[in-house]
Copies of this chain bind each other. A is one copy, B any other.
Amino acid sequence: MAREKDVSEEVLVTIRQIVRAIGIHSKKLAKTYGLTGPQLIVMQEIADREVLTTGDLAKNISLSHATVTSIVDRLVARGLVNRIRGVQDKRKMYVQLTEEGHTQVMNKPSMLHDTFIKSFKGLETWEQTLLLSSIQRIAAMMNASEIKTDSLLISHPVSATAEEIREYYKEE
């Protein structure tokens, strides 16, 4: 005698399905390519900003600082990313791609599986916009009163300033 699910519950279920599809794809990536989805996201963001602190990195990609630290740990262990201690402010820890990291991110595979990208790009522009704005609206409704810790879900991406970039040296 299955209970009726209301629409907001169905939204949740669908989100879980999406998350799952992404997760499964991530595992597949890790297996065939060696990098998981989150690792690729991190590397892509670092590539985009050249150099930035782990805190800004976390903000930009909407993950907690703790999570980013552990992902960066793995990337450092594999020689794809360097950590750089700030000089001006020694609390800060900058991250940067290594040579190897650069080449990896260059031939990076698509984050979502190709069928999705293909389907999505096959849509009319207005349809893509509609879908994007729909989920953004859902996201906005969820954020309303949340997130007061060290991360803003909706924020402007942050890069290291030119000045900051000048002010670092490699840790041994």
Chain A positions near chain B (C-beta within 8 angstroms): 1-3, 7-22, 24-25, 47-50, 61-64, 111-113, 115-117, 119-121, 128-132, 134-139, 141-147, 153-154, 157, 159
Count of chain copies: 2
A24 to chain B, nearest CB (A): 6
Give Cα A147 to B19, complex, Å.
Answer: 13
For A12, what are the chain B residues with a Cβ–Cβ distance below 8 Å? 22, 111-112
CB neighbours (8 Å) of A120 from chain B are 7-8, 11, 141
List 10 A–B pairs whose Cβ atoms lie within 8 Å, in order of A's numbering: A2-B49, A7-B120, A7-B128, A18-B142, A21-B139, A21-B142, A21-B147, A119-B141, A131-B137, A135-B138
Q: Which of B14, B63, B119 contacts A135 (CB 8 A)?
A: B14
- The answer for the CA separation of A10 and B120 in the assembled complex, in Å, is 12
Q: Decide yes or no: A62 and B13 within 8 Å by CB, A117-B8, A142-B21 being known contacts.
A: yes
In the A-B complex, the 5 residue pairs with the smallest Cβ-Cβ separation, listed nearest first, are A134-B134, A21-B142, A115-B144, A119-B141, A3-B48
Please indicate the chain B residues that have their CB under 8 angstroms from the CB of A113 in the complex.
142, 144-146
